[in-house]
Amino acid sequence: MTVPRQPTTQRRAMLLAAVRGGDRSIAQLADQFDVSPSTIRRDLTELAREGHVVRTYGGALDAGTTVERTLREKDASNSEEKDAVAKAAADLVDDGEVVLLDAGTTTGRLARYLAGRQGLTVVTNGLTVLLALADSTDVDVIVLGGRLRHPNEAILGPSVESQLRHITPDKVFLGADGITAGRGLSCPTLEQAQLKHAMLHVGRGAYVLVDHSKLDTGPFAYWAPLDREHTIVVDEGAGKALDAFAAVDGCEVLAVPY
């Protein structure tokens, strides 16, 4: 049944109820609310920013269900923004450095920009990073060994954290499912939250790579505090949402165009 056109606030409230009721397709929701797919995308982006839903490829899920998206769904979401963030992050890396790359889609894109760099060593627990650098003979790749977790293709386990004690990378690049100025990085499991926190502290410099849809969102119950100096690299689409992060002691913000 088509819902009569409503004011934006009322429509978004009804849209949230529809998503929680199991309606997840943008095309389906656009027909239901008699608005364009682009309007539904904007509504869902705002609901995701507020932490009510988790954006997926082609729709959204209720954040209360804490359903984790597949890597393919994550990579397709905000693709241009992620690519701009990854390229800006690559510009921060100097030849000959040792860098630690977290598992994730944006860090995987960063790895593609690092392929071919001279004398670079990349340490990672992410399958996306490993695959991006598999054919690069110029980059020395060190894979932290452990258990491969799906759906985010991260290598986890006590052995990964143990190996981190033996390295001091020049820079650490972390990904995130959500980030808030008050809590840090939202993670789907306690194990991942603990590992991200450990990664944060092993490097000489720490960076968090996110697109603007991740800001002010906490889709999961586990958190990695950002309790050391760090830089958030994010696309300019974040707008005023960056103000809260820039106000945090020890946090710098690098907003990049896309």
Tell me the CATH number at 33. 1.10.10.10
Residues 44 and 133 in one domain: no
Q: Please check the confidence at residue 86 and state whether its pLDDT lies above 80.
A: yes
67: pLDDT strictly greater than 70: no
In terms of domains, do 117 and 61 share one?
A: no
Within the chain, where are the H helices?
8-20, 26-33, 37-49, 71-76, 79-91, 105-114, 127-132, 158-164, 190-202, 243-246
With cut-offs at 50, 70 and 90, classify the pLDDT of residue 97.
very high
Sign for the CA dihedral angle at 233, 160, 116, 131 comes to: negative
Residue 169 sits in the same domain as residue 135: yes
pLDDT value of position 258: 85
| Strands 53-56, 230-235: pairing kind | unpaired
Q: Please give the pLDDT value at position 69.
A: 63
59 part of a folded domain: yes
**Cβ-Cβ contacts under 8 Å for 129 (sequence gap 6 or more):** 101, 103, 107, 108, 110, 111, 122
Domain-embedded: residue 2:
no
CATH number of the domain where residue 211 is located = 3.40.50.1360
Phi, psi of 24 (to 5 degrees): -120, -15
For residue 61, being part of any structural domain is answered with: yes
Assess whether 123 and 228 both reside in one domain.
yes
Residue 169 has pLDDT above 70, yes or no: yes
Number of domains in the chain: 2
Q: Which residue has the higher pLDDT, 71 or 210?
A: 210
Where residue 192 falls among pLDDT bands split at 50, 70, 90? very high
Q: How many CB atoms lie within 10 A of CB 79?
A: 13
* Predicted pLDDT at 68: 67
Domain that holds residue 14: 8-65
Q: Which two tokens stand for residue 63?
A: 């954040």
Q: Running DSSP on this structure, what letter comes out for residue 230?
A: E
Q: ∠61-64-65 over CA atoms, to 5°?
A: 65
Residue 239 amino acid letter: G
Alpha-carbon distance of 128 to 142, in angstroms, equals 13
Check residues 212 and 58 and name the one with the higher pLDDT. 212
